[in-house]
Amino acid sequence: MDISLPRLLDDETRYNEAFNELAKYSKKFESFSSWTDKVYPELVIQKLRQDNESTLRVMDIGSGTGEIALGFVSKLMTKFPDVLSTIVEPNQKSLTIFKEKVTQRGLLSVEWDWQNKTWDQYYRDLKTVGNARNHFDLITSVHSIYHLGDTDTVIAQLLDCLVEGGVLILTLTAAYLTSWKFSDRFPMLPESIFSERSSSSVKQLLGKNEIQYEAKQMPLIIDIPDCFDPENEEGQLMLDFLMHVSQFRKTAPSDLVNAVLDGIGSPDFATKEDGKIIVNGTVDTIVIKKFSGNVQK
């Protein structure tokens, strides 16, 4: 089938609405908030440099409206009084919401460097500016690596931007969610959270390049019955996010919509219990510390 569907990423307003619905149905922000309190200090902060005399330079890529990145920065501030936080996010509307949250939460003592660009654009700019600004103590990408380009190249670029001893954090869905091979069955979908870019493919790449890492998993549970109700606008927004297509139910041919809904409602993808249709997934956080020898060959 040769069809072109409107990418959700190209519709900034709908992307934000759809992302908020996914976050709501999956309780993503609640899970991350507890993860940031309980796991982040040991998994991440303890691996950073121990002296806090100079500014800690951190970068978050694809931060969206900043809920998770703000949690990370607040935690870092408990140890590092001076933080310079670079935010790379191409969605202008998301950045505006992020900046409002910074003001509301009184995080103005942090120095913010707002980069309304794609990763590719920002990396190119960094390279032309020269070395001084290029090096970060910590780089985080939470559910954004799917969009950044060829994963092998992007990981090499990210490691290149770290100081020696710096830490790279990649959070993404584990292979579990991709078991239904959505991109094989529906190659006409532009991109989806069911894409084959999962933590297992990233781990394979790291293994191939002999890069050492540590990984920690947390559950991701999405309650999806509202996706099946065409009258339920919140459910339709969530479906748009899962497919990464704007107005999926209206813009895709009906046989494709039906096949996708059959897929996500099928037992090899979701379980049904007490009126709920639950997708049980896993989120993996991969932690890579840069030291000589632990970089892309």
Ligand X SMILES: C[S@@+](CC[C@H](N)C(=O)[O-])C[C@H]1O[C@@H](n2cnc3c(N)ncnc32)[C@H](O)[C@@H]1O
User: Which residues of this chain interact with ligand X, rule CB under 6 A?
Assistant: 9, 19, 61-64, 67-68, 88-91, 94, 118-119, 142-144, 147-148
- Taking the complex as a whole, how short is the minimal distance between the CB of residue 52 and ligand X, in angstroms? 26
The rounded distance, in Å, linking the Cα atoms of 71 and 129 is 30
Under 8 Å between Cβ of 252 and 245: yes
Under 8 Å between Cβ of 136 and 162: yes
Is the CB of 143 or the CB of 197 nearer to ligand X? Answer: 143
Is the CB of 242 or the CB of 256 nearer to ligand X? Answer: 242
Is the CB of 28 or the CB of 290 nearer to ligand X? Answer: 28
**Which residue's beta carbon is nearest to the bound ligand X?**
62
Which of 168, 108, 164 is CA-nearest to residue 144? 168
- Taking the complex as a whole, how short is the minimal distance between the CB of residue 63 and ligand X, in angstroms? 5
- Taking the complex as a whole, how short is the minimal distance between the CB of residue 54 and ligand X, in angstroms? 27
Is the CB of 123 or the CB of 272 nearer to ligand X? Answer: 123
- Taking the complex as a whole, how short is the minimal distance between the CB of residue 123 and ligand X, in angstroms? 9
- Residue 205: C-alpha distances to residues 12, 123, 180, 198, 283 (Å): 31, 21, 22, 11, 18
The rounded distance, in Å, linking the Cα atoms of 17 and 25 is 12
- Taking the complex as a whole, how short is the minimal distance between the CB of residue 261 and ligand X, in angstroms? 22
Is the CB of 147 or the CB of 203 nearer to ligand X? Answer: 147
The rounded distance, in Å, linking the Cα atoms of 290 and 294 is 6
Task: Work out the number of other CB atoms within 10 angstroms of the CB of residue 283.
Answer: 23
